[in-house]
Amino acid sequence: MDIIKQDVVIIGAGAAGLMCAATAGYRGRSVLVLDHAPKAAAKIRISGGGKCNFTNQTVTSEDYLCHNPHFVKSALARYQPEDFIELVERHGVDYEVRDAGKYFCANRAGDLIHLLLTECDWAGVQLQLKENIVQVVDLKAQSPSSNEAYQVDTQTQQIQCQSLVIATGGLSFSKLKASGFGYDIAKQFGMPVLPKRPGLVPLVMADKLLVFCQKLSGLSLEVSITVQMDTGTVSVNEAMLFTHFGFSGPAVLKISNYWQAGSALEINLLPQLNLLAELQNLKARNGNLKTWLNQFWPKKFTQAWAEFHTLPEKLAETANEQLAILAEQISRWQIYPAKTAGYDKAEVTLGGVDTSAISSKTMESLKQPNLYFIGEVLDVTGQLGGYNFHWAWASAVAAGQVI
Ligand SMILES: Cc1cc2nc3c(=O)[nH]c(=O)nc-3n(C[C@H](O)[C@H](O)[C@H](O)COP(=O)(O)OP(=O)(O)OC[C@H]3O[C@@H](n4cnc5c(N)ncnc54)[C@H](O)[C@@H]3O)c2cc1C
Q: What is the pLDDT of residues 65-95, one digit of tens each?
A: 999 999 999 999 999 999 999 999 999 999 9
Query: What's the average model confidence in pLDDT over 165-174?
Result: 97
pLDDT number for residue 274: 95
pLDDT tens per residue, range 324-334: 999 999 999 99
State which of 45, 88, 168, 383 you would mutate to test the pocket of ligand 1, scoring each by most atoms of that ligand within 8 A of its C-beta.
168
Atom of ligand 1 nearest to the CA of 168: 34
How far, in Å, from the CA of 33 to the mean position of ligand 1? 15
Flag whether pLDDT at 99 surpasses 90: no
Q: How far apart are CA 188 and CA 150, in angstroms?
A: 13
In testing the pocket of ligand 1, which one of 9, 10, 43, 131 has its CB within 8 Å of the most ligand atoms? 43
* Coil/strand/helix, residue 156: coil
* Confidence check: pLDDT of 2 > 90: no
The pLDDT score that the predictor gives to residue 26 is 98
Task: Give the CA dihedral 21, 24, 29, 34, nearest 10 degrees.
Answer: -20
| Distance from Cα 15 to the centre of ligand 1, integer Å | 7
pLDDT for residue 390 is more than 90: yes
Residues making up the chain, counted from first to last: 403
pLDDT value at residue 309: 85
Return d(Cα 73, Cα 86) in angstroms, integer.
21
pLDDT at 100 over 90: no
pLDDT of residue 314: 82
pLDDT number for residue 345:
96
Which of 188, 379, 388, 397 has the most ligand 1 atoms within 8 A of CB, as the residue to mutate? 388
Closest to 12 (Cα-Cα) out of 376, 383, 267: 376
Centroid of ligand 1 to alpha carbon of 43 (angstroms) = 5
- Under a CB-based contact definition with an 8 Å cutoff, are residues 172 and 341 in contact? no
Nearest CA to ligand 1 atom 42: 36
Over 80: is that where the pLDDT of 313 sits?
A: no
Atom of ligand 1 nearest to the CA of 16: 25
User: What would the pLDDT profile of 197-230 be if each residue is shown by its tens digit?
Assistant: 999 999 999 999 999 999 999 999 999 999 998 8
Residue 119 CA to ligand 1 center (angstroms) comes to 19
Share of the chain above pLDDT 90, in %: 95
Is the predicted pLDDT of residue 159 greater than 90, yes or no?
A: yes
For residue 182, report the phi and psi dihedrals to the nearest 5 degrees. -60, -40
The domains of the chain are located at: 3-198+347-400, 203-340
* Distance from the alpha carbon of residue 169 to the mean position of ligand 1, in angstroms: 5
pTM for this one?
0.96
| CA gap 7, 163 in Å, rounded | 6
Q: Read off the pLDDT of each residue in 305-321 and give the average, rounded to a whole number.
A: 88
Class of the domain covering 3-198+347-400? alpha beta
pLDDT band at 231 (very low <50, low <70, confident <90, very high): confident
Q: Identify the helix (H) or strand (E) that includes residue 240.
A: strand 232-242
Say how many Å lie between the CA of residue 173 and the centre of ligand 1: 8
Q: How far is the CA of 14 from the centre of ligand 1 (A)?
A: 6
Would you place residue 1 in the very low, low, confident or very high pLDDT band (cuts 50, 70, 90)? confident
Mean pLDDT of all residues in the chain?
Answer: 96
Residue nearest to atom 24 of ligand 1 (CA): 169
Task: Say whether 204 sits in a helix, a strand or coil.
Answer: strand
Per-residue model confidence as pLDDT tens digits over 333-365: 999 999 999 999 999 999 999 999 999 999 999
What number is the average pLDDT over the span 294-323? Answer: 91
**Residue 232: which H helix or E strand, with range?**
strand 232-242
Atom 41 of ligand 1: nearest residue by CA position: 181
Q: Which helix (H) or strand (E) holds 212?
A: helix 207-215
The pLDDT tens digits of the residues spanning 16-56 come to 999 999 999 999 999 999 999 999 999 999 999 999 999 99
What CATH number does domain 203-340 carry, 3.90.1170.50, 2.40.30.10, 3.40.640.10, 3.40.1350.10? 2.40.30.10
Q: Which atom of ligand 1 has the smallest separation from the CA of 386?
A: 11
User: Ligand 1 centre from 389 Cα, in Å?
Assistant: 9
The dihedrals phi and psi of 273, each to the nearest 5 degrees, come to -115, 150
Q: Is the pLDDT of residue 312 over 90?
A: no
